[in-house]
């Protein structure tokens, strides 16, 4: 039970928040707005899972918002050129993986700090996209919205797809060799190397996988609107990292599980609408996210200190 104390704590906070909303603002649970909020968070959940895996390997990726935006714009341009959905799906996942490989090559190959590398690529990609699009939206074919389903059907499809990906990744990270390798490298890279693993290749692989997930998430975001916003993904890195840290993923690497990340995403997803329903200024959302990250890091520091004493 102590092993999952962080996840249980976050789940209790989430339950208390939902109880407060049930009493103070029952309209929070209106079916269609609630379904829309959950569908909007499906891409965030996928990105947060990727971020969590990168953090388990004791790295960080703050370029995901820019990769997400670039993949979304490319998906819109390809869709407008008449590409079928399956081809666009493959293209944006490959594009995301290539961009992730660039980060991974610099981090694993040249042994540069991941926070410096991904900060640089975040700015380069975001500013390059701003120069290319000049803020112009991209119109999508009508058949693309909600994968050609009804709005309600498309929303359920997005939620179900994100949950399936979460379940597969959570199982794989615990039961497949590749997942165990991540935890080994994040816990002690030198010990993992002496045990016969290749930490640098594992680091490269997790960045590639992170990029591919960002591309997939971008596609799930694109189909929710008739237009692609080139500024989409702004602030996504903060939200994804916050969800991972709050969900019990250690900043120091080697610890965390994706079901905790799921609870973290739900908690953060409730903050903005809860503030709206409670008539609190929405700009407090970012401040609350930052405070949550800080508290989670302090909690990890205290936990590590107790473990070493």
| Mean of pLDDT values over 294-303 | 74
Q: Higher model confidence: residue 116 or residue 149?
A: 116
CA distance 272 to 281: 9
pLDDT at 134 exceeding the cut of 90: no
Choice among 26-40, 90-104, 124-138, 277-291 with the minimum mean pLDDT: 277-291
CA distance 298 to 163: 30
Assign residue 154 a region (left: φ > 0; alpha: ψ between -120 and 50; beta: otherwise). Answer: alpha
Helix (H, G, I), strand (E, B) or coil at 304: helix
CATH topology of domain 2-308: ABC transporter involved in vitamin B12 uptake, BtuC (1.10.3470)
What pTM does this model have? 0.92
Domain map of the chain by residue range? 2-308
Per-residue confidence band for 308, with pLDDT thresholds at 50, 70 and 90: low
CA distance 276 to 273: 5
Taking alpha carbons only, the member of 211, 208, 56, 195 closest to residue 125 is 211
Tell me the CB-side half-sphere exposure of residue 238, using CA atoms within 13 A: 13
**Which residue do the tokens 């971008």 mark?**
218
CA distance 229 to 252: 35
Q: What is the dihedral of CA 295, 298, 304, 307, to 10 degrees?
A: -80
């Amino acid at each position: 039970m102590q092993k999952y104390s962080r996840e249980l704590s976050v789940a209790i906070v989430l339950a208390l928040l939902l109880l407060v909303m049930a009493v103070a603002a029952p309209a929070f649970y209106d079916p269609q707005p609630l379904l829309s909020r959950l569908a909007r968070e499906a891409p965030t959940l996928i990105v947060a899972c990727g971020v969590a895996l990168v953090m388990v390997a004791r790295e960080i990726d703050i370029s995901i918002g820019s990769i997400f935006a670039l993949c979304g714009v490319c998906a819109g341009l390809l869709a407008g050129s008449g590409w079928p959905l399956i081809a666009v799906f493959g293209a944006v996942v490959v594009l995301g993986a290539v961009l992730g490989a660039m980060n991974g090559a610099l981090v694993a190959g040249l042994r540069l700090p991941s926070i410096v590398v991904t900060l640089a690529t975040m700015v380069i990609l975001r500013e390059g996209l701003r120069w290319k699009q000049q803020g112009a939206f991209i119109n999508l074919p009508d058949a693309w919205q909600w994968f050609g389903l009804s709005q309600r059907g498309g929303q359920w499809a997005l939620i179900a797809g994100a949950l399936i990906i979460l379940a597969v990744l959570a199982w794989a990270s615990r039961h497949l060799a590749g997942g165990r390798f991540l935890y080994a490298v994040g816990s002690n890279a030198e010990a993992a190397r002496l045990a016969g693993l290749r930490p640098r290749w594992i680091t490269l692989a997790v960045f590639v996988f992170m990029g591919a997930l960002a591309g997939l998430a971008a596609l799930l975001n694109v189909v929710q609107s008739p237009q692609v916003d080139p500024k989409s993904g702004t602030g996504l890195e903060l939200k994804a990292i916050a969800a991972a840290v709050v969900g019990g993923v250690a900043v120091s690497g080697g610890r965390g599980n994706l079901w905790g990340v799921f609870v973290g995403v739900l908690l953060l997803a409730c903050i903005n609408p809860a503030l709206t329903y409670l008539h609190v200024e929405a700009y407090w959302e970012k401040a609350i996210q930052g405070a949550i990250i800080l508290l989670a890091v302090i909690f990890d520091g205290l936990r590590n200190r107790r473990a070493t004493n």
